[in-house]
Amino acid sequence: MDSTMQHTPLLISSLLRFGTTVFAEQKVITWTGEGSRELTYAEVGQRAAQLSHALRKLGIDGDQRVGTFMWNNAEHLITYLAVPSMGAVLHALNIRLFPPQIVYVATHADDRIVIVDNTLAKPFSGLLAHLPGVQHVIVNGSIDDETRAALEAPEHVVAVHDWDALLEGEPTAYDWPEDLDENSASSMCYTSGTTGNPKGVAYSHRSNYLHAVTAALALGAKQGDRLLVVVPLFHANAWGFPYLAMAVGASLIMPDRFLQAAPLAAMIEREKVTFGAGVPTIWNDLLSYLETNPADLSTCRGLVVGGAAAPPAMMKAFQEEHGITIIHAWGMTEMSPIGTVAIPPTTVEPGSDEYWRYAAAQGRLVVGVEGRLVGPDDSIAPWDGESVGELEVRGPWITRSYYANGRESDVDRMEMESKFHDGWLRTGDVGTLSEDAFLVLTDRAKDVIKSGGEWISSVDLENAIMAHPDVREASVVGVPDDRWGERPLASVVLRAGSPTTVEDVREWLAGRLPKWMLPERWAVIDEVPKTSVGKFDKKVLRKRYAEGELEVQTFG
């Protein structure tokens, strides 16, 4: 049958047009430190048009890349919408990567123009000399003469522009191209993997569109929501939030550079946040802060937590003390990123043990994402909630290859190819799937601790230790052991001023875990080292241990 539906391409410009007209009154609110500044979505649409006209004049054509070096703010959102809508490709640079990695990714992606926040202009000027492909820099906000001179210094920089001046006078409407292929690239992100070079993932218009709509459904985002987007716009496609906000008509609260617990609590209270998104460490810090600094968070019904395992103790504390439901989700940069969302089945009694088992899982596969567990001998493990395997996934917003520009080393190329298996993406995550598609991850394949004949999940141990009321954070890594091959080492951050020792924590844990899981080696640390996107950085802890930098106490 030929006479089916219209072949309307799924484009970011459709989301932009829809969100900024149908929901013209919704707002993007950017925190300024003392208060906030606001733009309506109607204004966002106008500025997106102005930015696109300006970028065309600066020579952006075809699928050329426009980089951003920015916090979460209104101008970043405008860029997120404008660049793909005009047919170019947005590349949000991770401002927290080490400088050589930023240079690597901006060069690999071939960024032509970079838009930079004024508060990041100085560090960016230090990188610019190493980015010969960047011809124009657009600065959001004012900068001093010295910083401007530093940005203008490299010979390859044609001009440094001021955001407001550049947009001024440009038409506030744009004839967004409608003949774009929905499968063409709209944006890209690089993985923040801690080994090897970061790998590029190119999202298409279609994948972003479908992901936004599904993410909104799966997370329960709705019209009029006030979404606090703590997850950086440069981390894993900002979990789809900029585009899902357009689709459902929700306002966005952007924290800019104010990511500490105190300003986040103020934002939730003053901006009447209803829902938020961020990695566990962000919400864990907020929870500790609230213990001594009460705030009215009554408007907030939920926070989605992903990027790393959400400790169940934190989830329960938010629910019981603040009435906020933590929604645990799992995904990857390669998956746009959402793969699973943990919403317990309606048949389960809220607050029961069964409820918490579901809520603390990584979640149920969302519609569109297929998963399978592959055992070590390549056999497919059943969905019985017990059989363990590496999760492989496929679906319309899961990458089918990494972005390659032909200049990769052989090692990089081999590593990139090794992540795919007969059309499925190997996630590197190990766990179980239940009959009703709930994923429980036991570990990253490389973080599982192999102790004698037993496998110990570092995540299970971390969750068990973090359930102790005087433990703020805990990270567990496997370290070499003469007798067992490998044993867990627990590095613990104790609550400030608490008289509890790690020996006390170990004794407390002894009643809760089998003996063979109980770590003998413990270290008290000031803070768990974090990666560029705020996850526990186990590589640093392993190195500190290997170099004798950790003060380790041994028991048992």
Binding site for ligand AMP (CB under 6 A): 191-192, 236, 306-309, 328, 330-333, 337, 362, 427-429, 441, 444, 533
In angstroms, rounded to a whole number, what is the distance separating the alpha carbons of residues 267 and 253? 8
Closer by beta carbon to ligand AMP, 20 or else 214: 214
Q: What tokens does 135 get?
A: 């011809």
In angstroms, rounded to a whole number, what is the distance separating the alpha carbons of residues 106 and 99? 11
Closer by beta carbon to ligand AMP, 20 or else 362: 362
Q: For residue 179, how many other CB atoms are within 10 A of its CB?
A: 7
What separation in angstroms does the CA of 531 have from each of 1, 94, 278, 314, 536? Answer: 52, 11, 14, 20, 6
In angstroms, rounded to a whole number, what is the distance separating the alpha carbons of residues 116 and 139? 5
- C-beta of 192: minimal distance to ligand AMP in Å? 5
- C-beta of 70: minimal distance to ligand AMP in Å? 18
Q: Would you give the distance in Å from CA 265 to the centre of its chain? A: 20
Residue nearest to ligand AMP (CB): 333
Angle at Cα 385 formed by Cα 382 and Cα 389, nearest 5°?
Answer: 55
**Contact in structure between 503 and 276 (CB atoms under 8 Å):** no
| CA nearest to 455, candidates 402, 393, 376, 508 | 376
Closer by beta carbon to ligand AMP, 54 or else 528: 528
Q: For residue 540, how many other CB atoms are within 10 A of its CB?
A: 17
In angstroms, rounded to a whole number, what is the distance separating the alpha carbons of residues 69 and 246? 22
| CA nearest to 466, candidates 279, 309, 291, 264 | 309
**Contact in structure between 55 and 88 (CB atoms under 8 Å):** yes
Q: Compute the radius of gyration of the chain from its Cα atoms.
A: 24
- Token match 């089916």: residue? 4
DSSP conformation class of 198: -
Q: What tokens does 77 get?
A: 């959102």
- C-beta of 230: minimal distance to ligand AMP in Å? 14
- C-beta of 65: minimal distance to ligand AMP in Å? 20
Closer by beta carbon to ligand AMP, 147 or else 463: 463
How does DSSP assign 154-196, residue by residue?
Answer: STT--EEEEHHHHHTTS-S-----S---TTSEEEEEE---SSS
User: Which residues have C-beta within 8 Å of that of residue 347, sequence separation ≥ 6?
Assistant: none
Closer by beta carbon to ligand AMP, 137 or else 201: 201
Note if 455 is an active site residue: yes
Closer by beta carbon to ligand AMP, 276 or else 306: 306
Closer by beta carbon to ligand AMP, 19 or else 331: 331
**Contact in structure between 453 and 447 (CB atoms under 8 Å):** no
- C-beta of 242: minimal distance to ligand AMP in Å? 16
In angstroms, rounded to a whole number, what is the distance separating the alpha carbons of residues 55 and 111? 13
Amino acid at 233: L
User: Which residues have C-beta within 8 Å of that of residue 82, sequence separation ≥ 6?
Assistant: 16, 47, 48, 49, 51, 52, 55
Closer by beta carbon to ligand AMP, 39 or else 303: 303
- C-beta of 428: minimal distance to ligand AMP in Å? 6
Note if 530 is an active site residue: no
- C-beta of 464: minimal distance to ligand AMP in Å? 15
Strand-strand pairing, 454-456 and 449-451: antiparallel
Closer by beta carbon to ligand AMP, 136 or else 364: 364
Q: Which residues pair with 275 in a beta bridge?
A: 227, 302
- C-beta of 332: minimal distance to ligand AMP in Å? 4
Strand-strand pairing, 251-254 and 27-31: parallel
Catalytic choice (107, 122, 455, 500): 455
- C-beta of 277: minimal distance to ligand AMP in Å? 12
**Contact in structure between 28 and 223 (CB atoms under 8 Å):** no
Catalytic choice (182, 334, 390, 462): 334
- C-beta of 478: minimal distance to ligand AMP in Å? 16
Longest dimension (CA), the chain: 74
Amino acid at 412: D
Q: What tokens does 191 get?
A: 């993985």
Closer by beta carbon to ligand AMP, 426 or else 544: 426
Note if 8 is an active site residue: no
- C-beta of 309: minimal distance to ligand AMP in Å? 4
Catalytic choice (450, 503, 527, 549): 450
Catalytic choice (20, 191, 340, 427): 191
Closer by beta carbon to ligand AMP, 337 or else 488: 337
Catalytic residue positions? 191, 334, 450, 455
